[in-house]
Amino acid sequence: MRIGVVTDDGETVSAHFGRATHYLVYETEGPEVRGKEMRPKASHDREGADRSPEAHRVAEGPLHERMLANVLDCQVLITRGVGRGMYEAIARKGIRPIVTQLASAEEAVHAYVRGTIDDHPERVHAPHP
């Protein structure tokens, strides 16, 4: 199984999916971690990008596709914060989105494989007005 963790530094779970710059992808077998690798991630934070709610809605589909391109082989994707549109896009790709309060990527992955991770889908951000 592959478990993706949204990150900026390769150690912590990012609190904002859209702004994060990388994925840390763990290869697991049962409860054991067999390996991990950093992968780049497209983000909302592009220099000069229009950040208005209307521009975000228009660009959401293609941007979400680019953001998920490097984790389509993952079965799970862990973050500490994500918007409703991206949360739903992740699920449509057949990837289980997890919104956790755990800050450590290692701790979050180990909690997931043990079946003890805290998942808080109620913390998904509301869509833009």
Which residues have CB under 8 Å from 76's CB, separation 6+?
1, 2, 3, 4, 95, 96, 98, 112
**pLDDT tens, 100-118?**
999 999 999 999 999 999 9
* pTM (two decimals): 0.86
CATH of span 2-123: 3.30.420.130
For 115, which DSSP code? T
Distance between CA atoms of 50 and 72, rounded to whole angstroms? Answer: 27
**Structural Rg of the chain based on CA atoms:** 14
**pLDDT tens, 22-81?**
999 999 999 899 999 999 998 765 444 445 555 444 445 788 899 999 999 999 999 999
Determine how many CB atoms are found less than 10 A away from the CB of residue 11: 12
